[in-house]
Protein backbone atom coordinates (compact mmCIF):
# COMPACT_ATOMS: atom_id res chain seq x y z
CA UNK A 1 0.00 0.00 0.00
CA UNK A 2 2.82 2.32 0.98
CA UNK A 3 4.73 1.34 -2.11
CA UNK A 4 1.72 2.08 -4.29
CA UNK A 5 1.32 5.46 -2.59
CA UNK A 6 4.99 6.28 -3.15
CA UNK A 7 4.76 5.32 -6.79
CA UNK A 8 1.64 7.41 -7.19
CA UNK A 9 3.38 10.36 -5.54
CA UNK A 10 6.43 10.01 -7.78
CA UNK A 11 4.26 9.87 -10.87
CA UNK A 12 2.42 12.95 -9.71
CA UNK A 13 5.69 14.79 -9.11
CA UNK A 14 6.96 13.81 -12.52
CA UNK A 15 3.77 15.08 -14.13
CA UNK A 16 3.93 18.39 -12.27
CA UNK A 17 7.52 18.85 -13.32
CA UNK A 18 6.59 18.06 -16.89
CA UNK A 19 3.96 20.79 -16.82
CA UNK A 20 6.45 23.09 -15.18
CA UNK A 21 8.98 22.39 -17.92
CA UNK A 22 6.35 23.06 -20.54
CA UNK A 23 5.46 26.41 -19.00
CA UNK A 24 8.96 27.62 -18.21
CA UNK A 25 10.54 26.46 -21.45
CA UNK A 26 7.68 27.56 -23.67
CA UNK A 27 8.12 31.24 -23.12
CA UNK A 28 7.53 33.68 -25.95
CA UNK A 29 10.65 35.36 -27.28
CA UNK A 30 11.07 39.08 -26.77
CA UNK A 31 12.06 41.06 -29.83
CA UNK A 32 14.65 43.77 -29.21
CA UNK A 33 13.40 47.32 -29.74
CA UNK A 34 14.44 49.01 -32.95
CA UNK A 35 16.82 51.44 -31.29
CA UNK A 36 18.66 48.87 -29.20
CA UNK A 37 21.65 48.33 -31.47
CA UNK A 38 22.02 52.09 -31.95
CA UNK A 39 21.92 52.73 -28.21
CA UNK A 40 24.56 50.09 -27.52
CA UNK A 41 26.80 51.35 -30.32
CA UNK A 42 26.47 54.95 -29.07
CA UNK A 43 27.80 53.85 -25.70
CA UNK A 44 30.53 51.79 -27.29
CA UNK A 45 31.65 54.72 -29.45
CA UNK A 46 31.65 56.97 -26.39
CA UNK A 47 33.82 54.47 -24.58
CA UNK A 48 36.10 54.12 -27.59
CA UNK A 49 36.54 57.90 -27.77
CA UNK A 50 37.55 58.13 -24.13
CA UNK A 51 41.23 57.90 -23.25
CA UNK A 52 42.31 54.59 -21.84
CA UNK A 53 42.19 54.48 -18.03
CA UNK A 54 45.54 54.89 -16.29
CA UNK A 55 46.51 51.50 -14.95
CA UNK A 56 47.49 51.21 -11.32
CA UNK A 57 51.30 51.36 -11.10
CA UNK A 58 51.79 47.92 -9.58
CA UNK A 59 55.45 47.80 -10.59
CA UNK A 60 56.16 50.84 -8.46
CA UNK A 61 53.72 50.02 -5.71
CA UNK A 62 54.81 46.44 -5.03
CA UNK A 63 58.38 47.29 -3.84
CA UNK A 64 57.00 50.06 -1.67
CA UNK A 65 54.36 47.80 -0.20
CA UNK A 66 56.96 45.12 0.47
CA UNK A 67 59.20 47.68 2.12
CA UNK A 68 56.38 48.96 4.27
CA UNK A 69 55.31 45.42 5.17
CA UNK A 70 58.87 44.62 6.17
CA UNK A 71 59.03 47.77 8.29
CA UNK A 72 55.84 46.83 10.09
CA UNK A 73 57.02 43.27 10.65
CA UNK A 74 60.36 44.49 12.00
CA UNK A 75 58.62 47.01 14.24
CA UNK A 76 56.29 44.33 15.58
CA UNK A 77 59.17 41.93 16.28
CA UNK A 78 61.07 44.67 18.10
CA UNK A 79 58.05 45.58 20.13
CA UNK A 80 57.32 41.99 21.12
CA UNK A 81 60.98 41.43 22.03
CA UNK A 82 61.00 44.56 24.19
CA UNK A 83 57.76 43.48 25.78
CA UNK A 84 59.11 40.04 26.66
CA UNK A 85 62.23 41.62 28.21
CA UNK A 86 60.09 44.03 30.19
CA UNK A 87 57.85 41.29 31.50
CA UNK A 88 60.86 39.17 32.55
CA UNK A 89 62.32 42.09 34.49
CA UNK A 90 58.99 42.68 36.09
CA UNK A 91 58.64 39.05 37.11
CA UNK A 92 62.09 38.94 38.65
CA UNK A 93 62.13 42.28 40.45
CA UNK A 94 58.66 43.55 41.07
CA UNK A 95 56.37 40.67 41.82
CA UNK A 96 53.50 42.62 43.27
CA UNK A 97 50.19 41.50 41.85
CA UNK A 98 48.90 45.05 41.57
CA UNK A 99 51.81 45.97 39.29
CA UNK A 100 51.20 43.02 37.02
CA UNK A 101 47.68 44.24 36.62
CA UNK A 102 48.93 47.49 35.13
CA UNK A 103 48.67 48.01 31.44
CA UNK A 104 51.42 45.84 30.01
CA UNK A 105 51.81 48.04 26.99
CA UNK A 106 52.57 51.12 29.06
CA UNK A 107 55.10 49.19 31.07
CA UNK A 108 56.86 47.94 27.98
CA UNK A 109 57.06 51.40 26.54
CA UNK A 110 58.81 52.60 29.70
CA UNK A 111 61.34 49.78 29.34
CA UNK A 112 62.25 50.60 25.78
CA UNK A 113 65.49 52.31 25.02
CA UNK A 114 65.57 55.58 23.12
CA UNK A 115 66.67 53.85 19.92
CA UNK A 116 63.88 51.32 20.17
CA UNK A 117 61.41 54.09 20.84
CA UNK A 118 62.50 55.93 17.71
CA UNK A 119 62.20 52.77 15.60
CA UNK A 120 58.81 52.04 17.05
CA UNK A 121 57.64 55.55 16.34
CA UNK A 122 58.78 55.29 12.74
CA UNK A 123 57.10 51.93 12.33
CA UNK A 124 53.94 53.45 13.76
CA UNK A 125 53.98 56.23 11.18
CA UNK A 126 54.55 53.74 8.40
CA UNK A 127 51.67 51.63 9.67
CA UNK A 128 49.43 54.68 9.87
CA UNK A 129 50.34 55.76 6.33
CA UNK A 130 49.69 52.27 5.04
CA UNK A 131 46.38 52.11 6.81
CA UNK A 132 45.29 55.44 5.33
CA UNK A 133 46.43 54.33 1.85
CA UNK A 134 44.50 51.10 2.17
CA UNK A 135 41.38 52.91 3.33
CA UNK A 136 41.55 55.46 0.51
CA UNK A 137 42.10 52.67 -2.03
CA UNK A 138 39.11 50.74 -0.71
CA UNK A 139 37.00 53.90 -0.70
CA UNK A 140 37.94 54.79 -4.27
CA UNK A 141 37.21 51.25 -5.45
CA UNK A 142 33.84 51.39 -3.77
CA UNK A 143 33.01 54.77 -5.33
CA UNK A 144 34.11 53.69 -8.79
CA UNK A 145 32.27 50.38 -8.41
CA UNK A 146 29.00 52.04 -7.41
CA UNK A 147 29.33 54.34 -10.43
CA UNK A 148 29.36 51.28 -12.67
CA UNK A 149 32.89 51.99 -13.88
CA UNK A 150 34.29 48.67 -12.75
> Rule CB under 8 A: which residues touch other proteins?
12-13, 15-21, 23-25, 27, 29-33, 36-37, 39-41, 43-45, 47-48, 148
Q: How far apart are CA 2 and CA 60, in angstroms?
A: 73
Residue 143 CB, nearest approach to other proteins (Å): 15
Query: Is the Cβ of residue 13 or residue 81 nearer to other proteins in the bound state?
Result: 13
Q: How far apart are CA 118 and CA 112, in angstroms?
A: 10
Query: Is the Cβ of residue 15 or residue 142 nearer to other proteins in the bound state?
Result: 15
Query: Is the Cβ of residue 17 or residue 121 nearer to other proteins in the bound state?
Result: 17
Query: Is the Cβ of residue 41 or residue 62 nearer to other proteins in the bound state?
Result: 41
Residue 146 CB, nearest approach to other proteins (Å): 8
Query: Is the Cβ of residue 14 or residue 110 nearer to other proteins in the bound state?
Result: 14
Residue 4 CB, nearest approach to other proteins (Å): 18
Compute, in degrees rounded to 10, the torsion defined by CA atoms 71, 106, 80, 128: -20
Residue 137 CB, nearest approach to other proteins (Å): 21
Residue 116 CB, nearest approach to other proteins (Å): 50
Amino acid sequence: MNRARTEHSETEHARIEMVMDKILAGEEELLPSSGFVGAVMDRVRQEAAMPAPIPFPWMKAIPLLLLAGGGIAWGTVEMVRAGVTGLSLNALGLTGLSQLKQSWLMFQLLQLSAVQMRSLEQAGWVALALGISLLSWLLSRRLVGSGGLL
